[in-house]
Amino acid sequence: MSSGKDKIINDVCRYLKFYIENNNYPLFKNEFHISDEPVIYQDEEFAESIEKNDPENTENESDQLVAEKIKVTDNRKQEIPIFKEEWMNAETLQVFEQKIQTCDKCSNLSVSRTQVVFGHGNPEAKIVVVGEAPGADEDIQGKPFVGRAGKLLTDILKAINFDREEVYICNILKCRPPENRNPLPDEIAHCEPYLHKQLEMIKPMLILALGTFAAQTLLKSKEPLGRLRGKFHLYNGIKMMVTYHPAALLRNPNWKKPTWEDVQLFRKEFDTMINRK
């Protein structure tokens, strides 16, 4: 073999060794994947040097460079299709909702529910209200906050000059827990990605989190509600106010006063943000 080809092969090997070691590709540490496809160069200057340095560049198959048998792949530039679910590609809330109607990640909830309660309201809302989970009325009607707690939420929104139809309302869980029990950690873990996707698609200006589970889930916090409420937090760069869940207000009317204080601050912040635009 000519010294020119020896140099080229050595260059190829040194390049691959440097590339793999410096890009931390554990799958390639012990082996190279040989392919009959033409080489794909990630470095254009290196590809040009291969062509320029070949003294016997010919179209004869027997004289093709060994380098052409080596396919280099940069995994960082590839999307990882593994575990990617169909709903992740949804481009509208309507399509997204359709794609998770048969969700069975929580085997107990998927059996006991009447239907998935996805969310309801303006898909381009500036305000998103996040609650805990559907109740019996919500499970039947397929919409969040339609029972007694829902009526109280509507009244609260009206009191701070928000029409229910101009906001978007959803829950941490999309299925009703039996007997309206608290959501379990694994149920939250299964449903949480749906909520994050909803918020990512809507891109609200402000979020109002109702109750402990909504607040702790969105903030990744174990702080009690009493320490989280009454002030603004950040969820992925979006300002979020935490306050009591309307169902809790029905059980304990003493919490209505602090809730009123919280939502007034929420409205004031909304007006401030609108006026800045």
Whether residue 271 sits in one domain with residue 167: yes
Whether residue 105 sits in one domain with residue 179: yes
In tens, the pLDDT along 90-113 reads: 889 999 999 999 999 999 999 999
For residue 233, the domain's CATH number is: 3.40.470.10
Domain-located, residue 216: yes
Domain-located, residue 82: no
Largest CA distance in the chain: 91
Whether residue 254 sits in one domain with residue 232: yes
Give the total number of structural domains in the chain.
2
Domain that residue 259 falls in: 90-276
Whether residue 99 sits in one domain with residue 56: no
Of 77, 98, 119, which residue is a domain's last? 77
In tens, the pLDDT along 195-239 reads: 999 999 999 999 999 999 999 999 999 999 999 999 999 999 999
Whether residue 219 sits in one domain with residue 100: yes
Domain-located, residue 83: no
3-state helix, strand, coil in the chain (%, to 5): 50, 10, 40
Of 15, 45, 77, which residue is a domain's last? 77
Whether residue 251 sits in one domain with residue 194: yes
In whole angstroms, how far apart are CA 143 and each of 58, 70, 118, 137, 180?
70, 56, 7, 8, 16
What average pLDDT is seen over the chain? 81
